[in-house]
Amino acid sequence: MPGPPKRADARRNYERILAAAEEEIARDGAVASLEEIARRAGVGSATLHRHFPSRRALLEAVFHDRVEVLCLQARDLAGAPDAGQALADWLRAVAVFGATTRGLASSMLPGVEAAADSDCGPMLMTAGDILLRRARTAGAARPGVTIADVLTIVNAISLATEQHPRAAEEAARLTTLALSGVVSA
């Protein structure tokens, strides 16, 4: 929410923290040590906490750009001939991305401190909603299902497959499964 700060040194520290956080989170996931991040960034822990008031705020900042890429992919797919296929493809991409980007999935969970600074979630929602609507009018998506529902399931799958040896593969497979159904009863 605060966005990059104004003073030159402050902005430099902000970027350093972001870079360090990226590395650490890639290694340890969402529970990476904030102190270690500050250490790697060469700043005091107070500086980190000033720029990012909560762990979640830091995670959101780290993942923001990559989530944006996913949203752009959604816009591209919005012109695809098969609306159902487009939706499914995009959701698989989301699942794979979440499963291979350590810490992302858990940061998407509606936690206690979600309210204000939430950003990535809504971004994906609006991007995916376009695909879902299109699929629905094409008769390819079950009516009554919201994009929130679908993304919750996909995110959950990311979370559950994050530690799998072949996380990407597994996430895609389970997503396909959940989208097409398991029982016919």
Partner DNA sequence: AACTAAAGCGGAGGGGCACCCCACTTGTCA
Partner DNA sequence: TGACAAGTGGGGTGCCCCTCCGCTTTAGTT
What tokens were used for 13?
């520290």
Nearer to a copy of itself, 62 or 99 (CB): 99
19 near DNA, rule: CB under 7 A: no
Among 36, 34, 43, 35, residue whose Cα is nearest residue 16? 43
Out of 75, 110, 116, 166, which residue is the one contacting a copy of itself (CB under 8 A)?
Answer: 110
Out of 26, 54, 110, 139, which residue is the one contacting DNA (CB under 7 A)?
Answer: 54
In the DSSP assignment, the letter for residue 119 is: -
27 near a copy of itself, rule: CB under 8 A: no
End-to-end Cα, the chain, rounded Å: 46
Q: With contact defined as beta carbons under 8 Å apart, do 62 and 23 qualify?
A: no
Residue 39: CA count within 13 A, CB half-sphere: 6
Q: Which of DNA, a copy of itself, none binds 50 (CB below 5-8 Å, type-dependent)?
A: DNA
Residues 79, 179: Cα–Cα separation, whole Å: 21
**Residues near DNA (CB under 7 A):** 5-10, 12-13, 32-36, 42-47, 49-51, 53-55
**Residues near a copy of itself (CB under 8 A):** 82-85, 87-88, 109-112, 135, 139-142, 145, 149-150, 152-153, 155-157, 159-161, 163-164, 173-174, 177-185
